[in-house]
């Protein structure tokens, strides 16, 4: 699937390492994805949770805890 829109995301070395570990874990489960697909799916999951749970969502809670 083509993705005509683009954003730039900056990650720390630790965050990039966590992303790569997640990709490798998925591969060990027989699921091969690139980092872009992994990030898009993670965003979709978080946004769905936000839509369903609102203020009680994982995303809202994590962002609330960091402000």
CB distance 57 to 50 below 8 Å: yes
pLDDT tens readout for residues 24-40: 999 999 999 999 999 99
C-alpha distances in angstroms, 59 versus 8, 34, 56?
A: 20, 23, 8
C-alpha distances in angstroms, 67 versus 41, 51, 53?
A: 25, 21, 20
Give me the pLDDT at residue 3, please: 86
CA gap 37, 7 in Å, rounded: 14
pLDDT at 14 over 90: yes
CB distance 14 to 21 below 8 Å: no
Confidence of residue 67 (pLDDT cuts 50, 70, 90): low
Confidence of residue 1 (pLDDT cuts 50, 70, 90): confident
pLDDT at 16 over 70: yes
């Amino acid at each position: 699937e083509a993705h005509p829109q683009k954003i730039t995301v900056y990650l720390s070395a630790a965050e990039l390492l966590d992303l790569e570990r997640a990709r490798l874990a998925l591969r060990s489960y027989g699921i091969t994805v690139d980092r872009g697909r992994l990030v898009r799916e993670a965003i979709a999951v978080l946004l769905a949770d936000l839509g369903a749970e609102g203020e009680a969502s994982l995303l809202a809670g994590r962002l609330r805890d960091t402000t």
